[in-house]
Amino acid sequence: MLGLSRRIALFLNLNRRDYRTLLVTAFSLSLLTCAWVGLVANSSRAPTFPRDFDPIDLPGIEQDESSSSGSSGSGSGSTLAVDQIVFGIAGSASLWIDRKELVRQWWRPLQMRGFVWHDDPVEPNLWDTGLPPIRISEDTSRFRYTNVDGSPAGIRIARIVLETVRMNLTGVEWLVLCDDDTVFSVDNLVRVLGTFDSSQMFYIGSVSESHNQNVAFSHQMAFGGGGIAISYPLAKALARSQDRCLEHYPQLTGSDDRLYACILELGVPLTKHSGFHQMDIRGNPLGLLSAHPITPFVSMHHIEAMDPVFPELSRLESLQLLIKAMTADSSNFLQQTIGYNKDKGFTFSISTGYVVQVFDQLVYPRVLEKAEITFKAWNSRNGPTEFDLDTRKVKLPSPPFLFFLNNTMSSEDGGVVSEYKLYSPSAKECKNYCWSRLLLPGMGHSKAPDFDTIRVVTRPLSNNWFKVPRRQCCRFGEVVNQVLSITILPCEPGETVVNRRNSQHQSFVEKRM
């Protein structure tokens, strides 16, 4: 370096002072070059953080991330089984005597794994082998709670994640959290979660139907009553930091917002799935359930806060009939199919396993896909701005004829036959099922149907439908002995529900337009 500098100085004919300046400059540049090379070489090394940034080592929680999911991951080519899901059901000993009957309707004791987490022990006669085992939550009185409107029970319920992971269960891919008044379609839950890679961190659920509830909590939070699915790698990561995280949020109200806050600290966003239903509504759920989105039905909350889904049955009887239909034909359950029949001059909106609505006029899918406001929001208001979903008020000249589910049975060819009977409400009942018109059947209609029973035939949907869902189409049969037969099948590639190719109802559509 010095020889090179001297030659450069002679070449440039520099004096002694200029030569010293050049020498200092060259030496400084060489030092800066060495420092830069060292910085680049060290940048690939993992940074060392203070101990405060390391995961908390909790007893009973495995620290080996290489086996965090317990299996290869259901989204990596394997098929998810129901026993690879562990349910964490939040309950209370004081409510168990009633809530256990709701859990019993969907729980499969010999197939499923999970626990009901209570605050206190319950009497032995309040538990049997047809229900999930009961666990008593750990004492959480050491945690701060400053919210004057909520309950500290939210801390206990949020820690179901931590306490479940501490059990070191094997072969687990998903942890599903819910309340003891939540009902699941177990088959649909398995098939929906099977479309995700459980070796990755997933936080899956849906928001509330009530706009005010979403404003109060978050539009990006999974509401716990509707069910929250957490992949096991996320559950284990959350368990290692959850107690420390809970100390950050003494001001929050419940369990699901605490869970959301702690999952956000791990950087995992919500994956929304509209098949999880918080059901933050009151009153008659007909308008909401009859316009279910084109997605698999997974869960439904607040069974006790709604009217019975079938008008002539009790709440428990209604639930039992609904679950019978859901079990027999889970993939089609509550899927809305829309069809038009020229001979009868009617529009049909079929909510499989629940109700068929028959309109005496042409009603397009753009209208029927919106939930008719037959219910109120969680704050007991029913204005259109109270809901975070598409709704419609009653605007049609006459209400539909309602055919409610009467029975469900299997067909010889592997399909399912569901039978719906015409509902004829009394003047008193018409307040709920004729809405604001107070119209008895036949009044205000241009014509009445010549059938009192609708028999709908469906076939199980393929696994591909769970990835790429599409509304199905109707094929109408003849009326025999006042029974109308309808077959529901996948639409042809270019077929629409309004203008079907090779369909005689085309002239009806044009006439009614």
Domain at 112, CATH number:
3.90.550.50
Neighbour-count burial of 170, counting CB atoms closer than 10 A to its CB (0-12 exposed, 13-18 middle, 19+ buried): exposed
- Which pLDDT value is given to residue 21? 54
- Which pLDDT value is given to residue 437? 40
Q: What is the mean pLDDT of residues 101-105?
A: 95
Confidence of residue 73 (pLDDT cuts 50, 70, 90): low
Task: Give yes or no: residues 361 and 491 share one domain.
Answer: yes
Q: pTM for the whole thing?
A: 0.82
Task: Give yes or no: residues 242 and 381 share one domain.
Answer: no
CB atoms within 10 A of CB 452: 16
In a domain, 61, yes or no: no
In a domain, 511, yes or no: no
Is the pLDDT higher at 509 or at 169? 169
With H, G, I as helix, E, B as strand and everything else as coil, classify residue 282: strand
In a domain, 69, yes or no: no
Using N-to-C axis directions, what is the helix angle for 2-12 and 16-42, rounded to 10°?
140
- Which pLDDT value is given to residue 74? 54
Q: What is the mean pLDDT of residues 409-434?
A: 77
Count of domains for the chain: 2
Of the given ranges (225-229, 295-299, 338-342, 467-471), which has the lowest mean pLDDT? Answer: 338-342
In a domain, 246, yes or no: yes
List helix spans (H) across 166-252. 186-193, 211-216, 232-246
User: Do the beta carbons of residue 255 and residue 155 sit within 8 Å?
Assistant: yes
Q: What is the pLDDT of residues 37-70, one digit of tens each?
A: 444 344 434 333 333 333 334 444 544 443 344 4
Q: What is the pLDDT of residues 333-390, one digit of tens each?
A: 999 999 998 777 899 999 999 999 999 988 999 999 999 999 999 999 988 899 999 9
Q: What is the pLDDT of residues 282-306, one digit of tens each?
A: 999 999 999 999 999 999 999 999 9
Q: Is the pLDDT of residue 125 over 90?
A: no
Task: Give yes or no: residues 247 and 349 share one domain.
Answer: no
Task: Give yes or no: residues 260 and 350 share one domain.
Answer: no
Q: What is the mean pLDDT of residues 80-98?
A: 96
Task: Give yes or no: residues 108 and 249 share one domain.
Answer: yes
- Maximum pairwise Cα distance, the chain: 119
Task: Give yes or no: residues 350 and 473 share one domain.
Answer: yes
Expressed as residue numbers, the domain containing 486 is 336-502
Mean pLDDT score across all residues of the chain: 83
- Residue that has been written with the tokens 């055919």 in this structure: 403
Domain termination site, one of 260, 277, 294? 277
Domain termination site, one of 277, 298, 327? 277
